[in-house]
Amino acid sequence: MKFIRCILSILIFSVTSQIISSQEVSQDHRIPGEKIFSFGVVADIQYADAEKAGKRDYRGSLQKLDTCIHIFNKHELSFTITLGDMIDRDYNSFDKPLAILKKLQFPVYNVPGNHDFSMEDRFKRKVKKQLNNKKGYFDFEAGTYRFILLDGTDVSTFAHKKGSAQYKNAMAHLEEMKKKKSNNAYDWNGGIGDMQLKWLDKKLNNSDHKNQKVIIFCHWPLLPENGTQLWNNREVLELLNSHKSVVAWIAGHHHEGGYEKAGEIHYLTLKGLVEAQSETSCGIIEVYPERLLLKGYGDQNDQLLKFTR
Cα(114)–Cα(159) distance, integer angstroms: 7
Q: Is 183 helix (H, G, I), strand (E, B) or coil?
A: coil
Q: Give residue 184's pLDDT.
A: 98
Question: pLDDT tens digits for 48-76?
Answer: 999 999 999 999 999 999 999 999 999 99
Per domain, the residue ranges of the chain are 1-30, 34-306
pLDDT given at position 33: 76
The pLDDT assigned to 32 comes to: 56
Span 213-266, pLDDT tens digits: 999 999 999 999 999 999 999 999 999 999 999 999 999 999 999 999 999 999
Long-range pairs of 168-172 with CB within 8 A, sequence gap ≥ 24: none
**CATH of 34-306 given 2.40.160.20, 3.30.540.10, 3.40.50.720, 3.60.21.10:** 3.60.21.10
Q: What is the pLDDT of residue 2?
A: 39
pTM: 0.89
Report the distance separating Cα 156 and Cα 233, nearest Å.
14
User: What parts of the chain have a pLDDT lower than 70?
Assistant: 1-32
Q: Are 217 and 150 in contact (CB under 8 A)?
A: yes
- Cβ–Cβ < 8 Å for 117, 151: no
Tell me how crowded residue 37 is: count the other CB atoms within 10 A of its CB.
Answer: 15
Distance from the Cα of residue 109 to its chain's centroid: 12
Q: What is the pLDDT of residue 143?
A: 83
